C-alpha cells in the first residue's frame, strides 16, 4: 500500500485512511456491544471504547508501516 493517497489533488498520509477505517470499525463494534448490553461486564465503558479504537488503529497502522 502506498504511503500517500491523492485525494482531489491533495496528498494525504495513508494513516488518515486507516484512522477513518478504524473509527468506523470501532463504532460498529461499539453499537454491537451496546445493543447486546455487554458494557455491563466492563468496569469503565469509555476506557474500553478508547482501547478498542487504539488497538484497531495500531494493528492497521502496523500493516502499512512495517
* Tens digits of residue pLDDT in 5-60: 888 988 888 888 899 999 999 999 999 999 999 999 999 999 999 999 999 999 99
Other Cβ atoms within 10 Å of 18 Cβ, number: 21
Number of domains in the chain: 1
Whether 7 is in a domain gets the answer: no
pTM, to two decimals? 0.83
Helices in 1-66 by DSSP H: which ranges?
A: 14-35, 45-64
Q: Which domain covers residue 41, as residue numbers?
A: 14-65
Whether 35 is in a domain gets the answer: yes
Whether 9 is in a domain gets the answer: no
Nearest to 58 by CA among 9, 25, 11: 25
Cell 488518515 locates to 16
Whether 55 is in a domain gets the answer: yes
Amino acid at each position: 500500500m502506498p504511503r500517500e493517497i491523492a485525494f482531489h489533488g491533495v496528498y494525504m498520509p495513508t494513516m488518515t485512511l486507516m484512522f477513518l477505517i478504524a473509527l468506523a470499525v470501532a463504532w460498529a463494534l461499539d453499537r454491537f456491544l451496546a445493543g447486546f448490553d455487554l458494557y455491563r461486564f466492563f468496569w469503565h465503558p469509555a476506557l474500553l471504547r478508547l482501547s478498542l479504537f487504539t488497538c484497531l488503529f495500531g494493528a492497521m497502522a502496523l500493516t502499512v508501516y512495517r
